[in-house]
Amino acid sequence: MKTYIILASISLCLASYSIAEAQSLNQLHFHEKIVYTMQFVPDSNNMAKRLSVDMELLLNSDVALFSSVLMGVRDTLELGLINGISSGPLDPDGPYWDNKKTNEGNIRYTLYKFRDSILIKDNYTHNFNQPSNVKFYSEKVKLDWVLATDTMTIQGFQCQKAYTQFAGRGWTVWFTLDIPIEEGPYKFRGLPGLILNAASDDGTWQFDFKSFNKIQVSRYIYTEDEIKKRWTSKEKFFKDKRHYLENATVMDLLSHQIFIFDDKIKKDEIAKDKLRSKADNNWIELAY
């Protein structure tokens, strides 16, 4: 039942645009953009390694979209290809399709934050550009906020402090009534103003406000039929993600997504999978 509730929300959202656009372009249009810098420690046993990624929150009256800025660039390029519109020559050394050139390689998700639920698009495999690897699931996130009297100014905005527990972590956030939008980074929302900063209690995850702009931008969304084909549950997605990370080389070989003909290299890569998975132990959601 939950699947069809989410898909119905998508249908209503797309229906607010012209039928031609919804059918041929699969676009969502946004008019506000907030950029955050997300800092995180992927391995809790190596606190010195801290990565930084720019994330964007796009807003319209029906849905908020949260993803990495790089994912937004990729979606824009993909829209151009769908429409036969050239975006001009691309830098051959640019990061658009090469995960090794950016910290954003592991930030694959896009969140479609509808009024009553969140639709998540994600891909845990190394083969980023393989559509069959994309999965969807949904959830309802209810946050119990505790408001504090503490205040501070962030980039000229007067902010108030609030606290919540989410997915196995405690989070302190700062929101501003100066921007009366009940949204924020990642899955955080529900306060009477935009959340500018958010930090986990252990200091290993943090979102810092960077900019807010009025902008006209479109992003790609899969059709309802394609979402249904890729539907899973949150629990299964994270379970499958961990299994894949531990066995990526073997699974990619079996699915013919990679080819390794040297047995020594194959053995080394299989051993590295175990080490890489062990070092990827500090996901933003500890409980799912």
Q: What is the pLDDT of residue 131?
A: 66
Q: What is the pLDDT of residue 79?
A: 55
Task: Find how far residue 154's CA is from the centre of its chain.
Answer: 24
Q: What is the pLDDT of residue 97?
A: 43
Q: What is the pLDDT of residue 105?
A: 54
Q: Which amino acid is at 37?
A: T
pTM across the whole model? 0.85
pLDDT in tens, the chain (288 residues): 445 444 544 444 444 333 333 343 478 899 999 999 999 999 999 999 999 999 999 999 999 999 999 888 876 676 555 555 444 444 434 444 444 444 455 788 999 999 999 999 999 988 765 667 889 999 999 999 999 999 999 999 999 999 999 999 999 999 999 999 999 999 999 999 999 999 999 999 999 999 999 999 988 888 888 899 999 999 999 999 999 999 999 999 998 888 999 999 999 999 999 999 999 999 999 988
The beta-carbon contacts of 141-149 under 8 Å, at least 24 apart in sequence, are 141/166, 141/187, 143/188, 143/189, 143/190, 145/190, 145/191
Q: Are 6 and 138 in contact (CB under 8 A)?
A: yes
Q: Quote the tokens at residue 142.
A: 């209810």
- DSSP, residue by residue, the chain: -HHHHHHHHHHHHHHTS-HHHHHHT-EEEEEEEEEEEEEE-S-TT-TT--EEEEEEEEE-SS-EEEEEHHHHHHHHHHHHHHHT----PPPTTSSSS-GGGSGGGG---EEEE-SS-EEEEE--SS-TT-GGG-EEEEE------EEEEEEEEETTEEEEEEEEEETTEEEEEEEETTS-----STT---SSSEEEEEEETTSSEEEEEEEEEEEEEEEE---HHHHHHTB--HHHHHHHHHHHHHSHHHHHHHTTS-----HHHHHHHHHHHHHHHHH----S-S--
Instruction: Using CA atoms of 258, 261, 262, 268 in order, give the dihedral in degrees to the nearest 10.
Output: 20
